[in-house]
Amino acid sequence: MTTFTRLAIPEIVLVQPVRHGDARGYFCETYKKPEFDAFGIDIAFVQDNESLSREVGVVRGLHFQTPPQAQAKLVRAVRGSIFDVAVDIRTGSPTFGKWVGVTLTAASGDQLFVPHGFAHGFCTLEPDTIVAYKVDAPYSPAHDAGIRWDDPAIGVDWPVEAGRAVLSGKDQKAPLLADYASPFVYVAAGA
């Protein structure tokens, strides 16, 4: 059975599927909806993504899609490894502007679930790292948004020096969280 562990921000969940090893290698059910339903995550993924980052220190993020095309994500490294980060951008949240980060490696098969209302990004820890992730809304350029990866008010402890990060032009120009009117609003669990 897959293990689900809520992290310091409880909406962010470490997901650890079982690998069935044998002399050939292993078999792993990398996603099984009934297990997510049983844990209490009601999700219907509609798109699978994959990105290759050739260098160590590639930072992709901090990204999200705005409502009504907000995306929850289930992220894993299928080659190499990443430091994966989620930032709470839900206005009114007790953890607004706070972040959690975990190391995801192809070797471990660990995954991170990031729900709506969180910016997501990662930094590669090995060359030629491939990241695969499922999303529950299709890509919508009109709803694609981001905040600065190195926003000092968020203070993500990235494993790369600021001047050595490999960034897209878009990510270099992203706004600080303080300068961004987040469209996400916190709703307490069970409210």
Ligand X SMILES: Cc1cn([C@H]2C[C@H](O)[C@@H](COP(=O)(O)OP(=O)(O)O[C@H]3O[C@H](C)C(=O)[C@H](O)[C@H]3O)O2)c(=O)[nH]c1=O
What is the three-class DSSP state of 123? Answer: strand
Q: What is the number of other CB atoms lying within 10 angstroms of the CB of residue 141?
A: 7
- Residues 6 or more apart whose CB falls under 8 angstroms from that of 97 comprise 87, 88, 89, 153, 154, 177
Count of positions (residues) in the chain: 191
Q: Figure out which of the listed residues 74, 77, 89, 120 binds ligand X, where binding follows CB under 6 A.
A: 120
For residues 121-140, which are near ligand X according to CB under 6 A?
121-122, 139
Q: Which amino acid is at 22?
A: D
**Structural tokens at position 39:** 């844990």
Closest approach of ligand X to the CB of residue 34, in Å: 25
Rounded Cα distance between 166 and 181, Å, is 26
Q: Figure out which of the listed residues 3, 5, 108, 168 binds ligand X, where binding follows CB under 6 A.
A: 168
To the query of whether residue 120 is one of the catalytic residues in this protein, the response is no
Interface with ligand X (CB under 6 A), residue total: 12
Considering only the stretches 32-40, 85-93, 114-122, 172-180, report the one whose residues sit in contact with ligand X under the rule CB under 6 A: 114-122
- Give residue number: closest CB to ligand X: 139
172 binds ligand X per the rule CB under 6 A? no
- Given 133, 139, 143, 180, the catalytic residue: 133
Rounded Cα distance between 189 and 117, Å, is 14
Q: What is the DSSP letter of 176?
A: P
Considering only the stretches 93-101, 115-123, 156-164, 180-188, report the one whose residues sit in contact with ligand X under the rule CB under 6 A: 115-123
Q: Figure out which of the listed residues 3, 5, 51, 108 binds ligand X, where binding follows CB under 6 A.
A: 51
Rounded Cα distance between 74 and 114, Å, is 6
To the query of whether residue 63 is one of the catalytic residues in this protein, the response is yes
In the complex, the residues that contact ligand X under the rule CB under 6 A are 49, 51, 60-61, 63, 73, 120-122, 139, 168, 170
Q: Which sequence positions are flagged as catalytic?
A: 63, 133
